[in-house]
Structure 1
Amino acid sequence: MSVATESVPVLAIAPAENTGIVFPPAMEARFRPGLVAVYDEMLAREDVIALLCFGSAPRGEAKPKSDLDVCALTHGTEYWKRSRVVNGVEVQLQVGPLQHWRGDIEKGNPAMTEAFATGEMLFDRTGEATALKRDSEERFRAGPPELGPLRIERLRYMLTNILVDLEDMTEDSLEARVLAGFLVLEALRFWCAAQRFWSQRKPTVMVRQLQGRDASLAAKLESFYASTSPAQAVAFTDAVLEGVGGRLYELSTNPEPIPG
């Protein structure tokens, strides 16, 4: 599968009055010109079987600088991306095989699962993309795959090693503060995965999930970000690890074959 990227100059496009798009109800008007441009272009291509708009824009959660995310599905073998600005809005387009997206979703990819589950299908010539969207919605409601015992042990061991490295550094050093920030983010990702939450790629979403589920742990996170103190990072990470058995200093895995 080949991958290509393309940067296109800023375009100024007037909103189309007779477009065949049914715009997502919650989408702000500023996103419409960019969506029309992509819709018309992809609809004219015979290789494109479906078009999905996803992300914060169709959900009505966009911020002033949010971009517009669109995914075009094909039966081909190539994958490519393009970014361009239309009437002041950055439009991110991904084009690739339907099987590529299906494979990511079946593997539990959080970004793709959420994109198809919460996105808006703009057109679907074969019905396959709509079926994949329904499957994604079911997977999204069920939550991400549960972490197995070995995966939990590996993550405990990884966090323990970072904790040990951090505790061996001078408390007020730049290196300690940088590592503390990395440690807290990894611990937060681990907590979200253990709780079977989606959207683990977005720190803002992870923080909201933590605040809604565990006020005591959220307070420790807030204490770290108020001070960026390595000691607070250690306290937060140890609190996360307490829920899964604490620090893990030794790890042994079974032999695994190397692909290829």
Structure 2
Amino acid sequence: MKAADNPHQTRLEAALPPVLERIAATPGVYAALWCGSAARGEANAYSDLDFHALVTGDHRWRSNFVVDGVPVEVFHNPVRKVRAMFAAEDAATITMFAQGRAVLPHPDLDALMAEARALHAAGPKPRPLTEDGRFKLVDEIMDCRAVVDQPTHALLALAVASRAVDRLYMVNGWWEVKRERWPADLAVKNPEAARELNAVLTASEPDSRQEGLEKLVMRLTGNLIYRDGGTAPAPVP
């Protein structure tokens, strides 16, 4: 759907001038980035307006307000804090700066957007599943098997699937996306994993849900066999 054919996008874009006026009037603000679904032209009936604002000084804060019925959220940060979030591989911040639109331009903002695009293209460092993480996933699968004939199975299976997909992104070095975008994103990155997640989400029978869940988890664990392991001793406070 084109932005011109999307009434939700049109409504949000109509609110931009007074919103930007308010952001620009905030003490310390000298640049702003429009980000989120509306900035990508993908607004829906529940979208808001999201911004990152660059500020002078040593403080960071978040503000939210409403303009013409449109909810607005603004993250205020000095440049060095944004770069610290880049260094920490903060997926949300890197993605927003990589895909956002400069609405209060400044060379500092241009530089951050260029850095974010390079980081986003490179991807995060893959983080292998730890032995402790593997044990927890296997143990949770067994907990799900134990209640496969109970109503709580759906609740447990969804929770385990959520943790498994989180780890799938980390292990493969993929940037995190919002959970509502997992099915579409995985369909591109790993279609088989997308089908397994979809089985957990949509299966009408618990056995089918469990089967999809186990296949999804085994992408990380290899199998569902317990192995010797444990954590290193830690001092007790």
Band of TM-score, shorter chain: 0.7 to 0.9
Higher deviation after alignment, 202-211 or 235-244: 235-244
Q: How does 1:1-260 map to 2 (within 5 A)?
A: 28-45=9-26, 47-125=28-106, 127-148=107-128, 151-169=129-147, 171-200=148-177, 202-227=178-203, 229-244=205-220, 245-247=222-224, 249-253=227-231
Structure 2: gaps spanning 5 or more residues: 1-5
State the 4+ residue runs in structure 1 displaced beyond 6 angstroms: 255-258
Deviations 1:51-93 (A, max 9, x none): 1110111111111221110111113333322222222321112
Aligned equivalents of 2:94, 2:231: Cα separation in 1:
30
Partner secondary structure for residue 58 of structure 2: coil
Partner secondary structure for residue 214 of structure 2: helix
* Percent pairwise identity: 25
Deviations 1:125-145 (A, max 9, x none): 4x2222121111011111222
Partner secondary structure for residue 58 of structure 1: coil
Partner secondary structure for residue 144 of structure 2: helix
Asked whether the equivalents of residues 60 and 76 of structure 2 are also in contact (C-alpha less than 8 Å), the reply is yes
Aligned equivalents of 1:183, 1:82: Cα separation in 2:
34
Aligned equivalents of 1:45, 1:226: Cα separation in 2:
46
Superposition deviation, residue 233 in structure 1: 4.2
Tell me which amino acid in the other structure corresponds to 1:217: A
Aligned equivalents of 1:154, 1:234: Cα separation in 2:
22
Tell me which amino acid in the other structure corresponds to 2:145: E
Structure 1: gaps spanning 5 or more residues: 1-25
Q: Which residue of 2 aligns with 1:4?
A: none
Q: Residues 166 and 243 from structure 1, CA distance in 2 versus in 1: closer, same or farther, beyond 3 angstroms?
A: closer
Give the superposed CA RMSD.
Answer: 2.8
Asked whether the equivalents of residues 19 and 67 of structure 2 are also in contact (C-alpha less than 8 Å), the reply is no
